[in-house]
Structure formats: C-alpha cells, structure tokens
Amino acid sequence: MKRRTLGATGMSVSELTLGAMMFGSMGNRDHDDAIRIIHRALDAGINIIDTADVYSRGECEEIVGKAVKGRRDDLVIATKFGLPMGEDPNQRGGSRRWIVRAVEDSLRRLDTDHIDLYQMHRPDHETDIGETLSALTDLVRAGKIRAFGSSMIPAELITEAQWTAQRTGTHRFLTEQSMYSVFTRKPEGAVFPTAQRHGLGVLTFGPLNGGWLSDRADLATGHRATFQPSNYDPTTPAGRLKAAALKELAALADEAGMTLPQLAVAFARAHPAVTSVLIGPRTADQLDGLLPGADVDLTDDILDRIDAIVPPGTDLNPEDNYDTTPPALHHPHLRRRQA
C-alpha cells in the first residue's frame, strides 16, 4: 500500500487508516475477532490505526493495545480526547486538567509508553485554545505524545490555533481529521484549503457516509441504521437526494469496473489535501471489500461525473456532520446586546 507523509509530523502513513470505532460494545463485541481484523489490515499494508477514548468507553483502545503487541514500533497509533467520558463536566474538553488525565488513561488502555498522534476530538468553546496547546506541548516534551492534531475543527478555528501557537511559542496542531465522502463534501470549501495553507496532514473518515455508499441492498438493516434509523429513510427530503445520487453513482461504479465502496474510498483519496482515509470495518468481509479502494485511482472523467452528481462543497444532508455549532448560535444571550 502506498504511503504519504502526514503533514509536518514527518510520519509516513498508509493511504488508508484503520478506524477502530466499530471494535467493542459499539460494534464488534468479540475481542478475538476484532484483533484478527486488525491484524488482517496490518498485513495488507495499513500502518496507522485511529481510535478514541470515548469509543466503547475505552474498550476500543484496550482492543487496539492487545492487537499491536509485538508490532507497536512499526505502527502509527492515533487516538483522541475531548468528548465526555463521564457526567462530570471536568471529564471532557481541552483543559489542562482533563488532558493530563485523559492521556494517562489512554496510554494505560493502549498499553504503550507513547501515542504517535493525539487529537482533540471536537472544538472546546469553553477553554482558551492557548491552554489546550500549552498542555499538549508539555506532553510532547515529556515524550508521552509525538504530535497532536484536531478533529472536526472549522477553518477559522484551525487558523486561530495556528496563530495562537505562533504567538505563544507552543507547538501547533499538525493534523486535522474531517468527515468526507461523496455525500459530505463541505470540507472542500474551507477546511481543506486552510489545512493545505498551514501544512496540516488531513485524515478523513466516513467515506461510505455511514453505510449509504456501502452497496447494501437494504440500508435500514445496517448496523449504524439501528442507532439513527431516520438518517436511512429514503423518503425524507435528504433521503430522496441521496437515493437519487446513489443510483447514478452505482451505475458509474459499475461502468468503471469497481464496486461502489471502492469508488467511495478512491474518491476520498483523490483530494490533494487528504493524506489518509479512515475505513471503519466491523467485520472481516467489510474490510476485504474496502481494501481494494487503496489501489484505485479515479480518472478526471470519473471525478467530473461525480461532481455532476454531487456538486463540490455540498453536503446532501447537513445533519450528517456532527454538531460543532458555535455557542453564539445555541444561546440567544450571546448574540443580543444587554441593556
């Protein structure tokens, strides 16, 4: 499998990343089977695994830790912090208090002495970004992490974080992880160009749009559909848009001699800002169906036809993207001058 350099980290990573979210109680509960799937991915040439503390409440990190024993030095291990790990408001976010605890918990679960890429899972509007960068910088200097990045951060906050690092003399975010697929193309407008300007490595997730592009005959029977069935209803306004586009994309994939999932993965790989595409299989069969997407390079003609089906910068369903709405849009008192 081909490799690319992950932004300014200097780390060489495969064009596909194994996303481990589906290992544990959120997906595949069989630890031995999950470990076999991880080994299968590594044997296929994947050298980077992405997880998070919140996935199955730490169980996912434990599975990854077991799977990489004896191979740790050959791999890039990425995990994330910031989403709630308990009811206590101090068990989340980007404060120094939480980061220094969260990293120790992840190191213990992963059974490793360092994390290669530590990512802030979502923006924290309650904590000054300088506080977060300072804490993460100290973790780099202590050898607990090698580099750090962000996930689902809008373009303006990527820029603010870069400026803050320069002004305060801390290390900076070196990567960004974004949701990106044929059906969720919003990052093309601002996030990807901003990441490119600042030399960030970009990891993307959700190339199958939660199963819409999986080529499954009945979307309602998919694992993810059990959590949000309304998102897979083809009779809703967004569902009708997706169903119509899906029909055209399936025909295009068939004409090009590939499966729809392979087309979807190849599409995400084709963007020049993207370093590596996360694939998140729950089963070995799903992994085997996605791996060939690493060897498919789409022609300009195919990419032009995809653009005609789903225009660049378009999200067919804005609700697909996780809520990162700024507080000022949630709370009226923040946008109304007080008397």
CA–CA gap between residue 217 and residue 220 (Å, rounded): 9
Half-sphere exposure of 101 (CA within 13 A, CB side): 11
Is 322 labeled as catalytic in the residue annotation? no
What is the biggest distance separating any 2 CA atoms in the chain, rounded to whole angstroms? 65
Q: Are 324 and 122 in contact (CB under 8 A)?
A: yes
Q: What pairing do the DSSP bridges indicate for beta strands 3-5 and 12-14?
A: antiparallel
Q: Is 90 exposed, middle or buried (0-12, 13-18, 19+ CB in 10 A)?
A: exposed
Tokens representing 285 are 């069969």
Token code pair at residue 234: 């083809």
* Strand bridging mode 276-279 / 201-205: parallel
Q: Rounded to whole angstroms, what are the CA distances from 268 to 179, 265, 292, 323?
A: 10, 5, 13, 22
Catalytic annotation, pick one of 55, 118, 180, 232: 55
Q: Please report, to the nearest 10 degrees, the dihedral formed by the alpha carbons of residues 38, 42, 46, 48 taken in order.
A: 60
CA pair distance 9, 266, nearest whole angstrom: 24
In order, the DSSP letters of 66-112 are: HHTTTTGGG-EEEEEE-S-SSSSTTSSSS-HHHHHHHHHHHHHHHT-
Known catalytic residues are: 55
